Structure formats: structure tokens, C-alpha cells
Amino acid sequence: MDRLDVLKEGLRRAENFRAAASYINFDMSTISPENARAHEGELIAFLENEAVRERKEPSFVSALLSSLKDIDSMDEWERAMVKEAYRTYRIEKNITKEEAYSFSLQEQQAFLDWEKAKKNADFSIFSKSLQGVIENNKKRASLRELDETEKGLMKSDYDRLLDMYERGMTTEILDPLFDESKERIVSLLEKIKNSKKKIRRDFLTRKVPTEKQKEISKMLQEVLLVDTTRSLISESAHAFTDRMAYDDVRITTHYYEDQFLSNIYSIMHESGHLMFDMMQPKENHEYFITEGKTLGMHESVSRFYENRIGRSKSFISLIYPRLLEIIPETLSDVSEREFYEGVNIVEPSLIRTEADEVTYTLHIIIRYELEKKLIGGELSVEELPKAWNEMYSELLGVVPENDAEGVLQDVHWSSDFGYFPTYAIGNFYNSMYYNAMNRDFDIGEAVRSGNLERINSWMIERVFKKADRLTPSEWIFDITGRELTPCDFLDYLDEKYGEVYGL
């Protein structure tokens, strides 16, 4: 076989194991019996380890290293495949199959412990597993083989973890971006707190039955033009998106009868992830480069549809009449302007996933600062809940009453460190390309008229198409002609919420 054929065959087998693990994970997170989850976790660990084993087969490694020598003579898709496979190879190279299995098993157990700890609002149930996850992340980072460029950039284990999720990102780059964001957001938040504007909120907690919320979910996906023949919506404790295959991308949401907006914006957020996965070039699947897009890129898209589109005046104008038809008893005495303001109410709160646009980035900065200290050894697991509460008090002025609404609220630390910053980076990216799109056509008018096809087409051509073949810095420059900056996002917050609160 040609070496590229050997490479593709190995990647195909590894992808089959990954997909099988994803199907089990989706079942585990949605419908499986509680006592079945430990066994499912073992199966996932086994399948993920088999995927790693395929990528470590001598014939596969030989074909990969041989292909690297002739990469300049390959076409665009072959080059992308080889580059992505080589990056994965260097990440996994020094990790034994026993270690890979142990890492995966630890993560599955940590997920189960996190679920139990959150249910009981008791951090001690999760603390031992969390310590194991931290140690595994540090070990994985230290074992990663770096090329010469990476050696000059990544100065700590946490830098290596950041780069796993956002290629090229380091604390040296991110610290000043977050410092500027924190300063300007805290200043804006103080102005909002001092505003005399009172936003109506009584309707936000009116009960909306689950069946009605399911109707709303369907309506939102119809408006966004989601292909429901290749996707589905299920329910889970923590909403997520999972790509199984080219024609199978799944999302989950949660239905709280007294918080109907929670489902609306979970659907908008996860549908953004879904469309990014579903609307990428088919060649990405054929050449196994679907993991080339970073989480910062991904979060930019999910938060673009959730916030820049979903919380805009024009989108509220579009869906308000439809919501009135589905839940008239909830909104019949609520004007469109009152609904828009209620959707955009700013109030420091405890739960990240329910946070408003202004305070959301502060939630991320808190986690970023804590992660750096945990991985750097400056903060112990035992000290984490206290440090968490102190930072929430300092930046947001709120303190959790228990661990469930505090340090246990997010699932990510049961497996990943370095992931959280990508949510805020995503806000920076999408504000930049929103402005680029708005120069090409009036986004507000397109949304008001229900022409989401125009927006989706622009996203496919400018944002989705090359995401798996470019580094994040190359990608955002290709879209906007500019380097990454938080200024577009911060200016957007100032302008929008200045109008909402009459500042």
C-alpha cells in the first residue's frame, strides 16, 4: 500500500473506535441506568485506548514519518491530514498504552464521582478523583513531545494544556487579554449596578411545561435551518454536543420548568456547535482532520449563535411572535421590548452556564486563574472551594451557599484543564468576525427577515471552510485581516448594554 493509504487506513480504524466511544458516552450521559455507568466508562476507556493503539502501530508511524519528508509535494488535504496526524503523534508518543488506559479510566471514574458529589453538594466526594485528574493532566503535559517552535512558546505544563485546546495559545498571550477584559467588564458592571433602569423579570420564572419547551426547541432549530435528518436533541445534566459521524451530530439540553430561557439558550449554543460540525467540508471526514478546529473556534461559533444572534433585538423580533403562539399564557402580558430586556438582564450570579453576556467572561477568568494555580502547584485541591468562593465574592459579589452551585457546577474538571479559557477566546473571535460579516451585509436585517441562510452561508464560506486546516491565528486573520483582540467584544458589550441600561 502507498504510505498515505496506510496512514488513512490507520486513521479510519482509530476513528471507528472514537465514534464507538462517543455513542457509549452519549448513552451514558443521557439514558443509561445509574448502575450501568461504571461499566460503560470502562468500555469507553477501552475503545479510546484502542484508538491510541492504532495510531501507534509501527506501520502507521513509519508511514506518517515517511510522509512528513514529502509534505511539500502533497495536495492541500493530504498536507492537512499529515500535519494533524503528526501533531497527535507527538502528543501521544511518550504515553504508554497502559498510561493511556489509566488516564481514560480515571476520567470515567472522576465523571461518576463528580455527578455524585454535585447531587449531594459535597466536594469531598470528588476531591480524590480531582487530584488524580490534575496529576494525569500534568503528566500528559510533561510527556508531550514539542517541536522547536513549541519549546520556545510553552514555558509551563499549563501552557502545554492550553495548547491542547487552542493551538499556539499561552499564558503570556492570554494574561494581558484577560486583564484588559476584567478591567473593562468590572467597570461596565459597576455602571450597570448604579443604573436607575429597572428591567422586568417576573415572567422569567413562570412555569413552562417540558412539552412546550420541546416545541420551542424544534422551532428554534427550524429558524436556524438545522438539518434534523442528521441530528437529534436529547436531555442531560450538562448540555453538550457530540459528533458521531458525518451524518450524525447530536446535542443535549435540559428542561427546567421555571427557567424556560435556560433551554432556549442551551439549544442556541449547542446548535452552533452542531452546525460547525455538520457544515464543514466533507473532505474533512475523508481525510480525518475533523479535530483540526480548536475549541476556541468551536466556542466562537456556539456563542455567536447563542448571543450575537440569539440575544439580539432582531432575533427577539423574529421569534417573539412564534413564542407567543407556543406559550401565550407566559408571554401574553409581556411586550417584545420587555422580553428583549429580560433576555439581556445583567445580574452577577453563581452559575456560569446561566450567566449573562457581561458577567460570563468573569466566570471564565475565575476558572482560568484557579486552573493555573492548581496545575502550577500554588493551590491544593483542599483549598479549591475556599479559593473559588473568595474569587466569586471579589469579582462578582456573590458567594455560593453550597458546593453544587460553586466549585462542582462544571463537569470539565473531571477530565480537562486548559479548556475553560476557550469560551472567552470564542467571544473575542466571534465579535471580530461579526463585524467583518456586518460590513458585507446588514446582519440585523437578515435576522429580522428570517434570512438565516445568508448568515449560515457566510459562516460556511468564511468561518467553517478552512477551520480544520489553519492555526487559530491564521484562521482569524484569514477571516478578518486582523490579529486576535478582545476590543471588538468589549466595545460590543459597552454599546449594547449602555443602550439596554440607559448608561
pLDDT in tens, 242-301: 999 999 999 999 999 999 999 999 999 999 999 999 999 999 999 999 988 999 999 999
> Do residues 188 and 137 both lie within one domain?
no
The range of the structural domain enclosing residue 316 comes to 174-206+261-500
Domain end residue (candidates: 130, 145, 160): 145
For the chain, percent of residues with pLDDT exceeding 70: 100
Phi-psi region of 377 (alpha: psi -120 to 50; beta: other; left: phi over 0): left
Q: Confidence class of residue 1 from pLDDT cuts 50, 70 and 90? A: low
> Do residues 114 and 201 both lie within one domain?
no
Residues 6+ apart with CB under 8 A from 398: 348, 349, 350, 392
Is position 218 within any domain?
no
Mean pLDDT, the chain, as a whole number? 95
CA 209, 401, 119, 267 torsion: positive or negative? positive
Phi-psi region of 450 (alpha: psi -120 to 50; beta: other; left: phi over 0): left
> What number is the average pLDDT over the span 477-482?
98
| Residues known to be catalytic | 270
**For the domain that residue 361 is a member of, what is the CATH number?**
1.10.1370.30
pLDDT in tens, 209-254: 999 999 999 999 999 999 999 999 999 988 999 999 999 999 999 9
- The model's pTM is 0.93
Is position 163 within any domain?
no
Buried b / exposed e over 447-460, threshold 16 CB at 10 Å, is bbeebbebbbebbe
Is position 255 within any domain?
no
Query: Is 70 exceeded by the pLDDT of residue 185?
Result: yes
Is position 385 within any domain?
yes
> Do residues 452 and 406 both lie within one domain?
yes
Quote the DSSP letter at residue 252. E
Is position 245 within any domain?
no
How many domains does the chain contain in total?
A: 2
Grid coordinates of 468: 480544520
Question: In Å, how far from its chain's centre is CA 26?
Answer: 17
> Do residues 314 and 419 both lie within one domain?
yes
Is position 488 within any domain?
yes
> Do residues 352 and 487 both lie within one domain?
yes
> Do residues 403 and 476 both lie within one domain?
yes
> Do residues 196 and 72 both lie within one domain?
no
Grid coordinates of 423: 469560551
Is position 151 within any domain?
no
> Do residues 196 and 76 both lie within one domain?
no
Query: Is 80 exceeded by the pLDDT of residue 375?
Result: yes
Q: Confidence class of residue 148 from pLDDT cuts 50, 70 and 90? A: confident
> Do residues 326 and 440 both lie within one domain?
yes
- Return the residue matching grid coordinates 495510531: 55
Closest CA to 279 of 218, 230, 244: 230
pLDDT in tens, 36-91: 988 998 999 899 999 999 999 999 999 999 999 999 999 999 999 999 999 999 99
> Do residues 133 and 96 both lie within one domain?
yes
Is position 285 within any domain?
yes
Domain end residue (candidates: 125, 145, 165): 145
Closest CA to 177 of 22, 405, 361: 361
pLDDT in tens, 89-103: 999 999 988 898 889
Looking at residue 353, what is its pLDDT?
A: 85
Q: DSSP 3-state assignment of 249?
A: strand
